[in-house]
């Protein structure tokens, strides 16, 4: 696997990311055993960069990825990116909404931090 430095973070991430979005449906539609197997295989192949979002399956993607990583013993060196979508009615306090969204994402993912929001 080829790795690259993520901006100025110093993090080395796989050039190929594991997309947890709705296009593949892996993290929202497969049974948990299959989700875990897919994530395990990605890690075996050297993928350490996982891309998800609260909006993917209304949090299902994050929860599924978190459950798979937990079943795998939270492998070291995994980096996760997630996203925040701002509804028009929440634009008045972006900071508070961002903090609440990230806190909910961390809870679903079962991690203390993510590499990128």
Catalytic-role residue among 3, 56, 86, 97: 56
| Residues in contact with 82: Cβ distance below 8 Å, sequence separation at least 6, in sequence order | 51, 52, 53, 54, 62, 102, 105, 109, 114, 116, 117
Residue 86 known to be catalytic: no
Tell which residue, 57, 73, 55, has the closest CA to residue 110: 73
Catalytic residues, by residue number, are 56
């Amino acid at each position: 696997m080829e790795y690259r430095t993520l901006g100025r973070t110093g993090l080395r991430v796989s050039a190929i990311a594991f997309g947890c979005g709705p296009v593949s449906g892996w993290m929202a539609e497969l049974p948990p055993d299959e989700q875990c197997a897919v994530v395990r295989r990605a890690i075996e192949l050297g993928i350490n960069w996982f891309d998800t979002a609260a909006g993917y399956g209304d949090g299902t993607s994050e929860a599924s990825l978190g459950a798979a990583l937990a079943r795998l013993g939270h492998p070291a060196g995994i980096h996760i990116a997630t996203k925040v979508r701002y509804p028009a009615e929440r634009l008045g306090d972006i900071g508070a909404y961002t903090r609440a969204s990230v806190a909910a994402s961390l809870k679903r993912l079962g991690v203390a931090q993510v590499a990128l929001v």
